[in-house]
Chain A
Amino acid sequence: MTRETRAAWGFTAPVLTIIVAVFVLPTLLAMAMAFTDYSIYALADPRNLHFTGVNNFTTLFATPLFWRAIGNTLLFALLGVPMAIGASLFAALLLNDATVRWKPLWRVVLFAPFVTSVVATAVVWRFLFNTRFGLINQALGAVGLPGIDWLGDPNTSIPAILIFVTWKIFGYNMVVFTAALAAVPQDLMEAARLDGAGRWTRFRHVTLPAIGPTLVLAGVMSVAGFLQIFAEPYVMTLGGPAQSTTTILYFMFDEGFKWWNLGQASAVALVLFLMILAVTLLQTRIARRNEWL
């Protein structure tokens, strides 16, 4: 072993050990547990633990709430990703405009929500969304619009939480996009302008191809992020109303740490994992085909 190799393993071994111990090993165990009936009865007496094959999955697939949780989570992702990415891109393009002043200040302001705690700001937004005493309905009333039962109506609970989430996270991708926009080739932009290309054409044919890979990567990360929503419904709605904000992770938490059906909860975790894997593979494939990556 050379000195360099020894040093390399010395540098990497500690973190790799921890990764294996608290991440790889438990993940493998979770996959195994998904095929057992680990529940409160096994907690009472280990002899009540059995290998049950795909039983957890058949039960899961026959549970309406599981499908609701999947549906809700997909809805979160489907609406949330365009909302969040759109907001980030809009803010980045705006800040990229030559006429905007005090850019560093605005960048800090728009980024600020990202560093705050989800729990604390969820409490704040729950307060803002209050039907009778919330600032948001007050503002709607001021312009003559009727108040909305934001967190109390199953049809608006997901949009309400998404407004909060978008507010919370858009600053991050805004900064990422700002970096990407700085790399848009200015000579190409100038050439397009001389050719008489309009603003939209220039955006479509110069800006977008240049920031494409960043956009795709941000998209992949956002989908994965939205599929893992938990703290927001935990604090704001307890998964309600009518379970309209029960997400896959919320469902897993309930099954696992509320009712101690660890077998069932592991099956849920496995499904979540497969979903994220599938979405990621799909997105990278589409991106490759279109040569964005």
Chain B
Amino acid sequence: MSYEGDYSPHLMPDFTAATGIPVDVQSLPTTASHEKLLTAHAGSALPDVLMLFNGWIREFAMIGAVAPVPTPALTAGIFPGIRDALRIGGVEYAVPWSVAPQVQYYRRDIVRDAGYDTPPLDWEGWLQMARAIKRRRPDDYVFLMLLNWPTALLTMMTQAGATMLRDRATRGNFRSEPVRHAFAFYAQLFAEGLAPRALSTEVQDPVAAFAQGYFAIWPSSPTTLLDLRRREAEIPATRWGTARLAGPTGPGPVSGDSASLCVASSCDRPQAAWALVRHMTSRASELKFQRMIGNLPARLDAWDSPQLAQPVLAAFREQMAQPAPIPPAVEWERIQSEVQLAAERVVRGIQTIDAALAALDDRVDRLLAQRRALVDAGKLA
């Protein structure tokens, strides 16, 4: 999946040298990986070790695709906040690996021209700054928030204090004040022309667009560090910086694409598989990976390393201690995409916020119908 997949092969030579076990790494496109892995499980064709985004672990555990972690030693020394969030019914199914909270990448020069040293961290201030930038650069945008990518909006909702599912996560809770607040703020950014109404299929090269000043604020994950380093010729390191994402009154919990490593329950050599997981989540591997793709180590002791003291990582470091909670429904991945579709309809002026949220609750209630029945029957905790 994305850079994790592309760069994992770099972690393998050491492992193969130490154990004699050859590893074949396969990388799936991020937007297709959930369906490919689910289908692979249904067809009994999962790889031995797989990376799952943290939001998927509950689902894959329920369908019996991934095996429980055999020994607590594997997760010892992981940030407690991250580890505890992934425990399902008291059982661990995954070893947290690559932590990727979103922060805002900003163009120092553009922000400075608008009269700011760093972007404000509260929504009102953020908006004022964005308007100031837009006044100076009317043909460009300020934010890049892709319309088929739910992370930015989910973060806003969490920060506004929303609890998205209610009744033991068996019903949607989207007609609530915090959600409405977040939706309104999100939609406003598009309505004022501060963010382009674009899908990921349309923005051919976001790094180039960032370099050209097509937008100035880019909520994104640590892997963007790698992109920016690679393209230093186009956008020198002095021209951009990182800061925590703005919240209603200041920074708060943030959604991200943090990922963990799991072993398939169909794996016929679990010892080797867990050994690989241990290797990939070791301090040395985590630091090596951080150097290569930017994602942060989930292991506490890795943070002693001077490598992680770079100023550009400070925002991530603060942010990773505050992950957004993941609602305990296996349908969550799907619900997220429904939330984003509702937001897209609002942004494009097809529906009002109230109509979209009512439709969203209705839709989510239907999606959760089976879960509701199972919870009511006591078959599901």
Contact = CB atoms under 8 A, between A and B. Distances in A.
B309 interface: no
Contacts of B362: 62
Given A64-B359, A240-B147, A241-B344, A151 B39 contact: no
B35 A132 contact: no
Given A237-B199, A258-B34, A44 B62 contact: yes
A44 B331 CA distance: 13
B38 interface: yes
A154 B348 CA distance: 9
A133 B348 CA distance: 23
Given A43-B42, A63-B366, A240 B201 contact: yes
A44 B63 contact: yes
B175 interface: no
A280 B154 CA distance: 45
Given A40-B330, A238-B148, A240-B148, A152 B197 contact: yes
Contacts of A96: none
B370 interface: yes
B64 interface: yes
Nearest to A236: B201
Contacts of B64: 44
Interface string A137-159: 00000000000010110100000
Given A152-B198, A236-B201, A258-B34, A43 B63 contact: yes
Interface in A237-260: 237-238, 240-243, 257-260
B34 A152 contact: no
A242 B201 contact: no
Given A126-B201, A257-B39, A59 B345 contact: no
Contacts of A48: 370, 374
Contacts of B230: none
Interface residues of A, number: 32
A182 B104 CA distance: 66
B299 to A, nearest CB: 31
Contacts of B202: 130-131, 149, 151-152
Contacts of A257: 35, 38-39
Contacts of B147: 240-241
B257 interface: no
Contacts of B370: 37, 39, 41, 48
Contacts of A37: 370
A133 B204 CA distance: 8
Contacts of A44: 62-64
A37 B371 CA distance: 12
B344 A130 contact: no
Given A40-B38, A240-B199, 12 more contacts: A39-B370, A43-B41, A59-B366, A63-B363, A151-B202, A152-B197, A152-B198, A238-B199, A238-B201, A240-B148, A241-B348, A242-B344
- In the A-B complex, the 5 residue pairs with the smallest Cβ-Cβ separation, listed nearest first, are A258-B35, A44-B63, A152-B202, A242-B348, A43-B63
Interface of A: 37, 39-41, 43-44, 48, 59, 62-65, 126, 130-133, 149, 151-152, 154, 236-238, 240-243, 257-260
Interface of B: 31, 34-35, 38-39, 41-42, 59, 62-64, 147-148, 197-202, 204, 330, 334, 341, 344-345, 348, 350, 359, 362-363, 366, 369-371, 374
24 contacts: A37-B370, A40-B63, A44-B63, A59-B366, A62-B362, A62-B366, A64-B359, A64-B363, A65-B341, A130-B202, A151-B201, A152-B197, A238-B200, A240-B199, A240-B344, A241-B147, A241-B348, A242-B341, A242-B344, A242-B350, A257-B35, A258-B34, A258-B35, A260-B42
